[in-house]
Amino acid sequence: MSEVIELLREMVATPSVTCSAHQGLDETHGEGRMVQLVADFWRRSGIDYEIQTVLPGRENVVARIEGGDGPALVLEAHTDTVEVENMEIAPFDPAVKAGRVYGRGACDDKASLAAMMIAVRNVAEKGLPGTVTLAAAANEECGHGGVVTLLESGLHADGAVVGEPTLLQVVVAHKGACRLEITTHGVAAHSSEPNKGNNAIYAMARIIQALEAYAGELGDRPKHPLVSGPTCSVGMIDGGQAPNVVPDRCEISVDRRMIPGECTEDTEQELLGVIAAAAGDEVIWSSTLAFEDYTLETDPECWVARIARRATAAVTGDETVIGVQYGTDASNLSHAGIPSVVLGPGSIAQAHTAVEYVEIEQVEKAVLIYEKLCLQQ
């Protein structure tokens, strides 16, 4: 078994489930065990690294290889995974079957990280044309905190390659997200006399209907050539205390996906306008911007996109650039002025699934691609 697959299996066997704001660190949650694994790898390899605190007990590991005066490159992949509930396989048992590695994180995102680490180690003594920084980032799945901390540390580079499952194709565009929490406020009463109360769920129903119509209207808007059109979805709802109580509160979570050219501020105001029109003067409501993620749109002819295309063409014979629907840390790097692309082994169709896996051949090819990126070949 190749060295990169052994490292990937070790990573899968190392739980690093992401933590929400309401969860604490435990035997499966938190990136601490992966931080130790990555740091140990760099120590054995004789490569300098630093650890950056993102949240209590959750860190980035950043290795840096000094090179010549050529362009500086950042490789970045995240160490956290999504939850393991309802998985149909043992999440932390990295089984190898039919040319695949199975387990939580095998595809998203430990395959990319393992391939990047082996590649950087392999080229460290070859006289790199420019400095290479490899960041193993925390908190991607639940807020992008790791890449924000990385940027706040003063990171500068001429380009970045973010590892995510792209089937080894170069991603130059993806959607962003504007996520709102909307609450309607009513008056509680006994359900035997509902006229004495003000039903917050009924009020929310008006807003939901308006958002459904708005989502349909988005389908008629011009589409981006690589990521298609904007979307809107109500993903969660909560309200009421008991069947015999008129509810005085109802809350929904609204997920609005933006395409390149849209921004959070304008999108939020558009959503609030739709809600205000549906609510009228009768409904008391409030809103909170719960999450935002920038869109990504990188010039396919910029330096980092060109070397990524050249490296993939040399290994896979394909230099096509594509767009994807999901978000990545690349948008934060790009927004900070570092042109970025997304490139990694595996398919997004296997990420976050009950039977997550990655093809071994993809991971081994990724090592070769990342080596060529570091060498700017």
Integer Cα distance of 298 and 322 in angstroms: 11
Angstrom distance (rounded) from CA 298 to CA 288 = 30
Catalytic residue among 31, 76, 80, 109: 80
Residue 268 is a catalytic residue: no
Catalytic annotation on 140?
Answer: yes
DSSP state of 195: G
Short-list 290, 305, 281, 271, CA closest to 373: 305
Cα–Cα distance between 68 and 133 in angstroms, integer? 13
* C-alpha distances in Å from residue 112, one per residue of 151, 258, 294: 20, 26, 22
CB contact at 8 A, 101 and 9? yes
Active site residue: 59, 108, 109, 140, which one?
Answer: 140
For residues 111 and 362, is the Cβ–Cβ distance under 8 A? yes
> Virtual CA dihedral for 96, 106, 172, 305, nearest 10 degrees?
-70
Q: What positions carry a catalytic annotation?
A: 80, 140
